[in-house]
């Protein structure tokens, strides 16, 4: 189980972005970019953990936090490619995606919204991003053999 923000939309501007929030155990006090302050409730939701394959080794419904670094120092001069398959029920509608030349993979860390997330970062492309694991069906990590044009 993990926490998920509920009622994240600002009642004044209907925006989804905010400057800061303070979590007090049951609700969060949100400071919206429009200047409005409001409360957001948290709810518990179950997570179907994805299958994760790391360099040929598959972990079914992996529910253990992992932080892995891939760079020149450990034989990965081009990092790794991370293939992601999303659940059909998610708003990604079963889409597949690949993040190229990742040098950092952070799995099941708790994001600022208290959801279990995956962060994929690339020191090669100087970028990265996070994903909520509840949207992901599977992750496959393979060694990258060249520098791709895109992350």
Look at 12-16, 24-28, 89-93 and tell me which has the smallest mean pLDDT. Answer: 24-28
pLDDT at 136: 92
Q: Where are the domains of the chain?
A: 2-45, 51-143
Q: Is the pLDDT of residue 18 over 60?
A: no
Mean pLDDT rounded to a whole number for the chain: 81
Contact by Cβ (8 Å): 150, 100: yes
Q: Is the pLDDT of residue 146 over 90?
A: yes
Q: What is the mean pLDDT of residues 70-87?
A: 93
First vs last C-alpha separation in the chain: 31
Q: Is the pLDDT of residue 30 over 90?
A: no
Cα separation, 55 vs 83, whole angstroms: 12
Q: Kindly give, in sequence order, each residue whose CB lies less than 8 Å from that of residue 33, ignoring residues fewer than 6 positions away.
A: 13, 15, 17, 18, 19
Q: What is the mean pLDDT of residues 28-56?
A: 76
Between 37 and 68, the higher pLDDT residue = 68
Cα separation, 44 vs 82, whole angstroms: 28
Q: Residue 16's pLDDT band (boundaries 50, 70, 90)?
A: low
pLDDT at 38: 76
Strand 51-54 to 136-143 pairing: parallel
Sign of the Cα torsion 48, 90, 13, 34 reads positive
Q: What is the mean pLDDT of residues 128-140?
A: 90
Backbone angles phi, psi at 140, to 5 degrees: -125, 120
Q: Residue 148's pLDDT band (boundaries 50, 70, 90)?
A: very high
What are the tens digits of pLDDT across the range 99-119? Answer: 999 999 999 887 766 678 899
Ramachandran bin of 85, using left for φ above 0, alpha for ψ from -120 to 50, beta for the remaining angles: beta
């Amino acid at each position: 189980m993990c926490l998920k923000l509920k009622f994240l939309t600002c009642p004044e501007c209907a925006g989804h972005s905010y400057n800061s929030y303070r979590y007090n155990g049951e609700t969060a006090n949100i400071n919206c970019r429009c200047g409005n302050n409001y409360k957001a409730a948290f709810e518990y939701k179950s997570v179907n953990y994805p299958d994760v394959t790391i360099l040929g080794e598959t972990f079914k419904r992996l529910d253990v936090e992992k932080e892995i670094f891939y760079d020149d120092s450990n034989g990965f001069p081009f990092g790794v490619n991370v293939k992601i398959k999303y659940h059909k029920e998610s708003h990604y509608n079963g889409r597949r995606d690949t993040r190229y030349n990742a040098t950092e993979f952070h799995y099941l860390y708790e994001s600022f919204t208290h959801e279990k997330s995956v962060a994929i970062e690339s020191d090669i492309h100087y970028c990265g991003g996070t994903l909520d694991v509840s949207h992901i069906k599977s992750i496959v990590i393979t060694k990258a053999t060249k520098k791709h044009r895109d992350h």
